[in-house]
């Protein structure tokens, strides 16, 4: 195990022990994982909770409780300690980054570089927690098998039965085959009449 990793784990363990002693509560493995994912800042709160092991159904509830400071104050203290540790390690603070992105955005705007200004503002709003980058993978019909398309159509028909109702009557159309020569003669006859 590299020395840097060993040192980091020792520091985190010392921080955890200090917080647990202050609050008289133990940080669970899920709470630790949630805090680490949350501090990364790459995912929404509920997604952090899901990845930490909370159920899909209750992840948003636990994310809220873990961050409100009343239900699990030791988790919030752990999050703050992790943030401070990152700030010490990288020399980057949230407020410093927000100010830097603001300055870059204004400078780009004054230089009529609006694309760069917009990108700086997008990053700034994400860093400030105003926006979350969410991406969805949507299957298109050409990527689905015939059985998958049929299953989706049946599900839609059950969910929206009125959309699949067709008023009218059906008549059976029989295909009449003609020799190839007759079709050509017919086409030639139509073209000479015009």
Tens digits of pLDDT across the chain (194 residues): 444 443 444 446 787 888 888 888 888 999 999 999 998 888 889 999 999 999 999 999 999 999 998 888 999 999 988 888 887 777 767 777 778 888 888 998 999 998 988 888 888 888 777 777 676 666 677 778 889 888 988 888 888 887 777 667 777 877 777 666 555 454 444 444 44
Cβ contacts of residue 142 below 8 Å, gap of 6+? none
Report CA 151 to chain centroid distance, whole Å.
26
Containing 191, the helix (H) or strand (E) segment is: helix 180-193
172: Cβ contacts below 8 Å, ≥ 6 apart:
none
| Per-residue tokens: 86 | 């990152």
Buried b (16+ CB within 10 A) or exposed e, 93-121: eeeeeeeebeebbeebeeeeeeeebeebb
Vertex 29: Cα angle to 94 and 50 (nearest 5): 70
pTM of the full structure: 0.45
- What number of residues does the chain have? 194
């Amino acid at each position: 195990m590299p020395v840097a990793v060993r040192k980091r784990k020792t520091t985190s363990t010392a921080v955890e022990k200090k917080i647990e002693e202050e609050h008289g509560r133990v940080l669970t493995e899920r709470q630790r994982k949630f805090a680490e994912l949350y501090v990364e800042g790459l995912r929404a709160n509920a997604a952090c909770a899901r990845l930490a092991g909370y159920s899909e159904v209750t992840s948003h509830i636990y994310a809220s409780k873990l961050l409100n400071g009343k239900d699990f104050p030791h988790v919030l203290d752990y999050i703050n300690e992790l943030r401070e540790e990152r700030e010490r390690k990288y020399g980057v603070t949230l407020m410093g980054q927000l100010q830097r992105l603001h300055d870059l955005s204004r400078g780009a705007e004054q230089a009529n570089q609006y694309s760069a200004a917009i990108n700086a503002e997008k990053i700034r709003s994400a860093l400030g927690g105003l926006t979350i980058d969410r991406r969805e993978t949507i299957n298109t019909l050409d990527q689905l098998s015939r059985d998958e398309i049929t299953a989706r159509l049946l599900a839609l028909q059950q969910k929206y039965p009125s959309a699949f109702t067709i008023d009218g009557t059906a008549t059976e159309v029989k295909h009449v085959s003609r020799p190839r020569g007759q079709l050509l003669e017919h086409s030639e006859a139509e073209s000479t009449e015009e």
